[in-house]
A and B are shown apart, each in its own frame.
Chain A
Amino acid sequence: MIEVEGLSKIYGASHAVEEVSFAAGEGEIVGFLGPNGAGKTTTMRILSCFMAPSSGSARIAGFDILENSLEVRRSIGYLPENAPLYDEMSVRDYLNYVAVLRGVPKSQRAIRLEAALDAGQLEHRADTLIRKLSKGYRQRVGIAQAIIHDPPVLILDEPSSGLDPRQRAETRHFIKSQAPQRTVLLSTHILPDVQETCSRVIVINAGRVVAQDAVENLAAKASGLNLVLARPTPDASEKLSRVAGVSAVRREPNGAFSLDLTGENDAREEIARMCVAENWGLLELSRRRANLEEVFLKLTTSD
């Protein structure tokens, strides 16, 4: 549904997005993660045809973003970083206007309007002026406008920003419920949301994709071992780091060691053997499961 190939965007002398490639299949929910300024919004703006890429190409629902831009725009529902609202309109008038702009035929407008109000849980605010809505409600109107034309692809830039915990849960639920019919690409800084909603994540840092995988796989890759020794020798760290499958060793107080693994092979057996052979007095050897936050920090910290 979404195929991105070598997308770059240059602002003056700096690359906001550099050679970004990824794909999202039909019905997939893909999380787009990265620190502030990583290029998430820029990528999404390019995919939604708001900006042209400096180089590279992308196809959405089979249409090229440059050659069939109108078709692409018909196929996507887009929630920009700041919900694009007209303050002087009521929620209902606004959604109706968006439906017209997005080309919803007149006969279906009433049905789609109800569906959108429902998606944003806005029924009781439908006749309020947007100017009078709170930040969270504005964001909900933003979500409602993105789905009003029943698009096969949804691109949501930080959909849960400004929402209360209950509404965040509702939004998570809503996004998950889109899965079979729509492909969703969403960016967010709230990692538990990603863990719960996304089948796959793409991590981007300084304009480049640094990882893309299923959430569990990413966590597995970043997992490590905790080791506690009774009599570690001064060269223990060095010896441990030479074991196949260990990528880094940190020595902590009281004979504790923290090991990062490359993820290729299980190093536990070899480490246990070494501890016995060196007479270090193995007290504890346990697996440490990384959560998404640790993975994220690890991937996006440049050292």
Chain B
Amino acid sequence: MFIPFHIAWKEIRGYFSSWIAYVLCAGWLLLSGLTFVSLLGAAAQGAPFSLVPLYQNLIIVFLFLTPLLTMRLLAEERATGTLELLFTSPLTPWQVTMGKWLGALAFCAVLLLLTLHFPFFVFQYGTLDAGPVWGSTIALICLAAAFCAFGVFCSSLCDSQIVAGFLTFGGLLLSWMLAWPAATAPDNRLAAVAAQFSVFAHFARMLGGAIDTQDLIFFASLSFFFLFATTRVLESRQWK
């Protein structure tokens, strides 16, 4: 097997060998379940039913969850000295970075699998509009990829998990807030540019089920940028 997969697999086992995986899964099921029930309640009042608000809520959950998933990935290795094991083994910074990122991303994919029963219920007991479900799932994967890449990057910067976690959370929050000025001042050029850099704006477009290559490229380049930056940070260790 490819080395990054081994590293990712070790990370996934690490999540499940501590409380964090179970707490996150439980919290995820609870929040998504509550949202689903309230959507059903609204539909019972006669509003048109759609699953999109459910997925929209999950971005907020990701905002809190990503830092918890990624903060320890490299910061802990730095703090406990296991980075010395990784980098005296015949590995490249890319292999390490990819492994860490894939591990966190795979955990996000597990969480997304845990939401598949919602469209299934709708399909069973009503009519399901499949477009938004696909669009939203792809959008959430893209979002998770970019969020995790940013988280891995923050984790590579310092040897404190807590600092890495806050840095990640702060960065993600900022990128979410970039969409706000455009919502209140539609004519402002600067606000429009800022919104272009907000993950939320791209995410919201994809939710509807319209997958635009522009949005896909946005998320792919964002992920690539932070993964690349992580490899540079890891490489710079040599010269300190």
Contact = CB atoms under 8 A, between A and B. Distances in A.
Q: How large is the interface on A (under 10, 10 to 19, 20 to 34, 35 or more residues)?
A: 20 to 34
B239 A84 contact: no
A85 interface: yes
B89 A102 contact: yes
B238 interface: yes
A143 interface: no
A219 interface: no
B81 A80 contact: yes
A102 B14 contact: no
A87 B3 CA distance: 21
A80 B81 CA distance: 9
Given A84-B82, A85-B82, A100 B87 contact: no
Contacts of A100: 3, 6
B81 A73 contact: no
Contacts of A49: 87-88
Best-surrounded residue of A51, A76, A84 (most CB of chain B within 10 A): A84
Contacts of A74: 90
Q: How large is the interface on B (under 10, 10 to 19, 20 to 34, 35 or more residues)?
A: 20 to 34
Interface string A84-99: 1111110000000110
Contact of B90 (A45, A51, A73, A81): A73
Contacts of B81: 80-82, 84
A145 interface: yes
B117 interface: no
A101 interface: yes
Nearest to B96: A101
Best-surrounded residue of B6, B88, B91 (most CB of chain A within 10 A): B88
Contacts of B189: none
A199 B51 CA distance: 74
B85 A145 contact: yes
Nearest to B6: A100
B233 to A, nearest CB: 15
B85 A80 contact: yes
9 contacts: A50-B84, A74-B90, A76-B88, A80-B81, A82-B80, A84-B84, A88-B14, A101-B85, A103-B90
Given A84-B80, A89-B10, 12 more contacts: A49-B87, A50-B238, A51-B238, A70-B92, A74-B90, A78-B88, A80-B81, A80-B84, A80-B88, A82-B80, A86-B14, A101-B7
